[in-house]
Chain A
Amino acid sequence: MSRSAWSVLLLILLTAEGCETRREPAGPVTITFTDSGWRDPATRRRRDDEIRQFTQETGIGVQLVMGGGDAAQPANQRALLEQGTRGADVVSLDATWPGMFADDFIDLKQYVPASEIASHFPPLIANSTVRGRLVSLPRAAIVPLLWYRTDLLREYGYRAPPDTWDELEHMAARIQAGERAKGQPDFWGFVWAGVQSEPLATVALEWQASEGGGTIVDHGTITVNNARAVSSWQRAARWVGSVSPPSVVEYTEPDVSNVWHAGHAAFMRSWPLEFAFDGRGSVPDECVGVAPLPRGAARRAATLGRYGYGVSGRTPHPREAAMFVRFLSRRDVQLKRALEFHVPPSLPDLYDDPRLAAANPHFGAIRKTLIDGVVARPSEAAGKAYPDVSRAYVEAVHAVLTSEKGAPEAAADLEDSLRRLTGLESPRRQ
């Protein structure tokens, strides 16, 4: 009898053994990864190369999660981050994200040596460090630049790109008039992203900050309702329909890029990512010049863009994810990326490498910008309220650009809105 019982048990065990379904091989870890620029084939190729190299070196797999792009507002990304399995382990962070989502990412200081952190441009590290935690590690220096047509500047007798906004306006108007006279009715002096969305916040911040109008929130006070800010917005409103197309208030960053690369504009305010679009438009490479953004009455201000990667606090593989982030910001990887794909590195000393200078003659403007003065959107001060702050700010500036509101009125209304949203006060009037 007990022998039969044992046989039955054995049969069950054998069957159970056979029932065991295929399991994931308990081998190398695979981490997921969201990145910007995933639609563009050149960027995809570059990233695929880097992922392959990382996997070869470490045995850790990386899966790119598509998504993001223009449609990716911070709130959407936030949702992605919170969706657990659908949120990625390694996330590309906009410059505003460390301030907003500091607690959702791990502190990279536990995985990255201090010397390595210190080797990046200080403004990038400063923007990435929130309440002492290193939320993201830079993998590039993404700051806006003034793009210009070297051929046209030469043609119209300019030896150097404009150093101030006034010079820019002046030169743009002249070249525009000249080109239109040559039979190009769609030619414009200066294109920039004026659509009512986040990019306008970066642009408008540069206008008002360079004029000394503050960075929206400065030292715990709201700085939008002041004469310098108001006049900077008024100047931009003046550009609309004069040196910039009336439709500029609907221009997203791709539109700006499209119009400039099509040869329909003399100046463009855009990102260094444009270097990667080898010969896409009709403007020959040798006619492309790059300079730091013009200075205002007070200073030179360039708003930080998306430059780094963070590791989600929800990742099951923080060590592997941090390894990948370190890899992406590694010196040799950044150098290769700069040489082959023209991505400006976040490591200042790389700019002294003669190979880099040879491959990217325009990178001097980037180092200059980072040394000279970058400005950050007030995400750290606003925290989770930043998307609302940004929306209110963009709405106000856009209303000025489209002449729906006068700039002083818009500034006063915005100040009220921001007070409500942040609970912060305006600086005392003198």
Chain B
Amino acid sequence: MKIATRLTASLIAIVLLMAVVAIVAVWPYSLIVSSNERTTAVDQAALAMLRVNIDVYDFRSRLAAATDSTDRRRLADLAAALDGHFQTDVEQAERLIVSSTPLAHDATIRGALDYVKAEPPYMHARILALAAAGDWPAARLRMATEMPWLVDISSGLVRRIEGEVAREQADAYARAERARQLFVVLLIATLVALLMAIGLAWSTTRAITRPLAVLEAGAHALARGDFHHRIALTGTHEFADLGSAFNYAADRIGELFAERDRVEEQLRQSRADLARVARVTTMSELAAALAHEIRQPITAAMTDVKTSVRWLTRDEPDTGEAKEAAARAIKDITRASDIISRIRSLFKKDDQTREPIDVNDLVDEMVPLLRSEARRYGVSIETELDRALPNVSADRVQVQQVLMNLMLNGIEAMNESTGNLIVASRANGQNVLISVTDSGVGLPGDGAEQVFQAFFTTKPQGTGMGLSISRSIIQSHGGRLWAEANAGGGATFFFTLPAATHVLSE
């Protein structure tokens, strides 16, 4: 059953219970009250009738005295008494009898009372008429025959109503006894009603709190990430609906989380793959330049070695010159070896290892690598490095990749002209700021941000991924990468990396 229906039904049931108790309470009370009213009414009617009967006796003796006296005026004066207190008394009795339930419906009583009310004035009028006609004997006879009937009916009426009083009293006693018994019923009814009300309230409350507790436990489980938690609520009530909705939602969220993890893993893998691809691409671009770079010291070393040989194979070998030439050759070969080892480091697979590094070192390593490539484009590389920089916590290889990417971009941007590529570093609050400034073609008119979009490229053989990947690398280090157009042409690329202390403090 629905909670709303249940609450409404409970409320109605409790109100009904209260009503029943109220009725049960009113019942004995009304029994006693009505019984009292009836008895009192009958009692009063009996008293009033007694008074009427006394009036009738009084009327009889005064009428007898008047007829015996043969005094017409005295007889006529009786009318005043009949119009006065007799009429008042009899009307009072009539009123009380009519308002008394057990008497009002007794046609015999009403008929007899009508007679007692009408007869004295009528009898008086008849007797007065006979007396007026001078027939006192007829008047006395009339009185003698009619008066006993009047007295008989009047007294009978008193007896009849008094009998009713006795019956009513017996009835009242019986009703009081019944009311007393009903009081026990009232107590039981109150108790039963109370217990039922408590039961209803308890069951209704439980019907709400128990499913609520189950739902709460479910919500907590969901918050913990336990997507396998199930709400076990059956029935037709709202909580059961809520429970199944909850279970469905938990299923869906679980699926979504699994999907997210899978996509994230894929993304991470893709990004790593893409970075390597980009790096390889960049490396291949570099290869030619590097070959030249390496060949140069090797050629120099070759020349030196040839010179040394020449010095040794001369007719008079000059070992001093040869030794000097061999030393130069060693120096040149060492330089070539250095270059090779630095290149190798670029091809190392990245494992996302963070270590405190000095950005200036990276620049210092990178500049010689790119110098010959720059020279090919007629570009000179300058550095403006702040030597008092704090270390940054970063993956050396990745930051190298970014720096190399920016510098190569700058060099290529100055393809059509000659110029300077300036790599600068400085502290910027809690960050280290590195900028690469060229005087090349500059940024596209649509805005600096466009160049960071994937597959954006101006180069015929570019992948368009370089800047996009670079930005994601810097962002993964908690830094920012952006570009600005220079006032005098060309563009500057900035990136920040948090200082190591700052990173550690987080």
Contact = CB atoms under 8 A, between A and B. Distances in A.
Given A8-B16, A8-B17, A67 B111 contact: yes
B142 A12 contact: no
A262 B112 contact: no
A247 B108 contact: no
Contacts of B129: 195, 247, 250
Interface string B102-141: 0001011011101100110010001001101111011001
B360 to A, nearest CB: 81
A264 interface: yes
B145 interface: yes
Given A4-B199, A8-B13, A11-B192, A255 B126 contact: yes
A250 B115 contact: no
B200 A69 contact: no
A259 B141 contact: yes
B146 interface: yes
Contacts of B133: 245-247, 249-250
Given A11-B189, A15-B23, A15-B24, A254 B145 contact: yes
B138 A245 contact: yes
Interface in B134-160: 134-135, 137-138, 141-142, 144-146, 149, 152-153
Contacts of A18: 27, 185
A71 B117 CA distance: 11
A71 B13 contact: no
B170 interface: no
Interface in A64-88: 64-71, 85-86, 88
A264 B136 CA distance: 13
B153 A66 contact: yes
B196 A8 contact: yes
Contacts of A40: 149
B147 to A, nearest CB: 11
Nearest to A185: B137
B16 A12 contact: yes
Interface residues of B, number: 47
Nearest to B116: A66
A101 interface: no
B152 A41 contact: yes
B20 interface: yes
B152 to A, nearest CB: 7
A258 B115 contact: no
B115 A39 contact: yes
A45 to B, nearest CB: 13
A400 B144 CA distance: 31
B10 interface: yes
A66 B138 contact: no
Contact of B196 (A4, A15, A245): A4
Interface string A229-260: 00000000000000001110111101101110
B115 A66 contact: yes
Nearest to A186: B137
B108 A65 contact: yes
A258 B6 contact: no
Contacts of B24: 15
B298 to A, nearest CB: 98
Contacts of B256: none
Given A15-B20, A71-B118, A250-B132, A259 B138 contact: yes
Contacts, number: 121
B135 A250 contact: yes
Given A1-B1, A7-B196, A11-B189, A262 B107 contact: no
Given A8-B196, A11-B192, A255-B141, A66 B13 contact: no
A294 to B, nearest CB: 24
B122 A255 contact: no
Q: How large is the interface on A (under 10, 10 to 19, 20 to 34, 35 or more residues)?
A: 35 or more
Contacts of A71: 115, 118-119, 122
A262 B20 contact: no
B203 interface: yes
Given A5-B9, A11-B189, A64 B108 contact: yes
Given A63-B108, A66-B153, A88-B107, A245 B20 contact: no
Nearest to B150: A39
Contacts of A12: 16, 20
Interface string A25-55: 0000000101000011100000000000000
A259 B115 CA distance: 24
Contact of A254 (B10, B118, B142): B142
Among A65, A247, A257: residue with most chain B CB under 10 A: A247
Contact of A1 (B10, B20, B141): B10
Interface string A176-199: 000000000010000000010000
B34 to A, nearest CB: 10
A231 B189 CA distance: 88
Interface string B64-107: 00000000000000000000000000000000000000000101
Interface string A353-390: 00000000000000000000000000000000000000
A39 B148 CA distance: 10
Give 5 nearest A-B pairs by CB, closest first: A247-B133, A247-B135, A67-B111, A66-B111, A258-B141
Interface of B: 1, 6, 9-10, 13, 16-17, 20, 23-24, 27, 105, 107-108, 110-112, 114-115, 118-119, 122, 126, 129-130, 132-135, 137-138, 141-142, 144-146, 149, 152-153, 185, 189, 192-193, 196, 199-200, 203
Given A41-B152, A65-B107, A250-B126, 11 more contacts: A1-B200, A4-B200, A11-B193, A15-B20, A39-B115, A66-B115, A71-B119, A250-B132, A251-B130, A258-B138, A262-B141
Interface of A: 1-2, 4-5, 7-8, 11-12, 15, 18-19, 32, 34, 39-41, 63-71, 85-86, 88, 186, 195, 245-247, 249-252, 254-255, 257-259, 262, 264, 280
14 contacts: A1-B1, A8-B17, A11-B17, A11-B192, A39-B152, A40-B149, A66-B111, A85-B105, A246-B135, A250-B130, A255-B138, A257-B145, A264-B137, A280-B145
